[in-house]
A and B are shown apart, each in its own frame.
Chain A
Amino acid sequence: MATQSEYVIETEGLKKSFGEQVAVDGVDLRVPRGSAFGYLGPNGAGKTTLIRMLLGLTRPSAGTMRVRGRTMPKERSQALARVGAIVEEPGFHKHLSGRENLWIAAAAREPAAHLRIDAVLERVGLTDRADDHVSTYSQGMRQRLGIARCLLSDPELLILDEPTNGLDPGGIQEFRALVRSWIAEGRTLVLSSHLLDEVEKICDHVAIVDRGRIVAQGSLSELSAGDDGAITIACDDPGKALGAIHGNGSLREVEEIASGLRVLLRPEASLEKVAAELNRQLVGAGIAVYRLEPSHVSLEHRFLEITRRLGGDS
């Protein structure tokens, strides 16, 4: 019997080894129901292997997992009945039309899935090409057809592995709009990606994974809470500016960038006060300041920081 847990995915000590190689190493993952969850990691971090275990495509070496409150793989049929997924590149029978491919996918689902074929084709904008062979589709169209296939089960949970691969900028924009509409409908999204910017734009919860281990997990605001602030300075003489602010005790790190400087603040420093102070210092030194842009350290910066640190430890 399923329990309506706060989490749509829960794993505990999940591990997958291929011989000596450990792809997923003791992962404890909690995906809140109704969230847009980013599963972030560099290539080879074990993201796809984790997804494959969650979908019953491969068996874990150790650990437990529950999907929609059901134990996997024991209750996989009920657990996955309302899960839509794209793992790596979606596969199709290329000699069949898009509609026929959806018909085949619907045959493996509940009978009502057949009723959704027209609606999902419409939703991903493939109605006009639905009866053409998939062999004539562009990669972006195949990706959209893969998304349509996910929607056949009216999914409560969508798991997408690198879904923007092969999409052009227009397609990426459309994809983001589509994802936002799913989330608005109350579906849970798990987006696995190495594109940090993509995750930052779409997701509200994130887990950062490296070498099979989760190194940080939580909501975006939680992950940013401990961050130092940052200020981007655009000025006419970055070299001189570097000397002018040298010795400012509120700064932890200063780096030159193309248009000026980027400074990272110490945790106790106030972003606004330091910005004002830097402005005074720079103007006082005769430097023309074009722009001072306070911001929080991006997820990308944090992600790179974590993986760099891990790299240094090894």
Chain B
Amino acid sequence: MTNPESAVQVPRSLRMPFRLERAELLKLRKSYGVWIPTALLTVGAMVVMYTAIELFHLSNSSKYGPAGGTLNFERATFLMGQLAGMIAAALVGAAAGTQDLSSGVFRDLVSTGRSRARLFLARIPGGLALLLPFVAVAYAVAAVSSVVLAGGLATPSITLFVKTGLWVLLSAGIVYAVALGLGSLVGSRAATISILIAYLLPVQAIIRNITVLGRARDGLLSVAVERLSPVPPPDPHDVVAMSLSTSLIVLALWIGIGLGVGLWRTQARDA
């Protein structure tokens, strides 16, 4: 046993920053159950979409247009920002919020004396470091395809590329934060994923179509995210109008409440 009060000389190579965040990333990136579905829902979805459209085009070019161009790019980014990317973010967030609990490692981490808040906060960049590269690659597939497979169609502008890129990353990040918080609150990965997928798919769609709810629908996550979208939704009749400031407030509340309940539960939970 070394002297407790003596300073231990640690080589510079091991004085690495973000050790807890790297540990979170390690847990996620080594889990096939996390990164394979994430890759399929992001990169896979874009590859399948563009491949399918291009095959249709090649088989009957008079009926089906090229896979590239602005319109298909807008559809692709909307698919990513409002559906597949959100589900991928829910999967990663649920895993990040629950994996220490389900494996029994949370207890051991807490017994090191590390602040529970620090343990929770490390999951935010740790999980995003896995999720966002997949979203970015998927976006790159869409962006490159929109130009390479454009045929004679107009291609998206640089401004649109930048805006949509930021939007899909933001959308995934917001859902990740909500999933992380909910996972930390509930403690069960399966329950967290079920709740989020149910909310993101049928429940939101039903609520946003109940017009008598009026402004109450502004609180829906997809409505607030959609307001920030630089591309119009595929169905223009399905738009819930709201101001930009309302959208930002709603999203801040989703993130704040999501992470807040997760942090609170992590600190209060018996380990």
Contact surface of A with B, Cβ cutoff 8 Å:
52, 55-58, 76-83, 85, 87, 89-96, 100-101, 103-112, 114-115, 149, 153-156, 185-187
Contact = CB atoms under 8 A, between A and B. Distances in A.
Contact of B107 (A91, A96, A112): A91
B113 A107 contact: no
Given A58-B270, A96-B27, A154-B2, A89 B104 contact: yes
B108 A91 contact: yes
Contacts of A108: 20, 23, 109, 112, 114, 119
8 contacts: A77-B115, A91-B105, A92-B103, A93-B27, A95-B30, A103-B26, A108-B20, A115-B11
B111 A80 contact: yes
B212 interface: no
Interface of B: 1-2, 4, 8, 10-11, 14-16, 19-20, 22-23, 26-27, 30-32, 99, 103-115, 119, 270-271
Given A95-B31, A149-B108, A78 B270 contact: no
Nearest to B31: A95
Contact of A80 (B1, B11, B15, B113): B113
Contacts of B271: 52, 57-58
B5 to A, nearest CB: 10
Contacts of A111: 8, 10, 14-16, 19
A110 B31 CA distance: 26
Contacts of B110: 55-57
Given A96-B26, A104-B26, A108-B20, A55 B111 contact: yes
B163 to A, nearest CB: 37
A93 B111 contact: no
Given A91-B103, A93-B105, A108-B20, A56 B113 contact: yes
A154 B270 contact: no
B123 to A, nearest CB: 13
Nearest to A111: B10
B34 to A, nearest CB: 9
Contacts of B111: 55-57, 80, 83, 85, 87
B108 to A, nearest CB: 6
Contact of A104 (B14, B27, B32): B27
- Most B CB contacts (10 A, CB to CB) among A76, A91, A103, A106 go to A91
Contacts of A96: 26-27, 30
Given A92-B103, A108-B119, 8 more contacts: A57-B107, A82-B4, A83-B113, A91-B107, A95-B32, A107-B23, A108-B23, A186-B1
Contacts of A110: 8
Contacts of B19: 106-107, 111
A178 B164 CA distance: 59
Contacts of B22: 107
Given A103-B26, A104-B23, A111-B14, A156 B112 contact: no
Given A104-B23, A111-B15, A87 B115 contact: no
Contacts of A92: 103-105
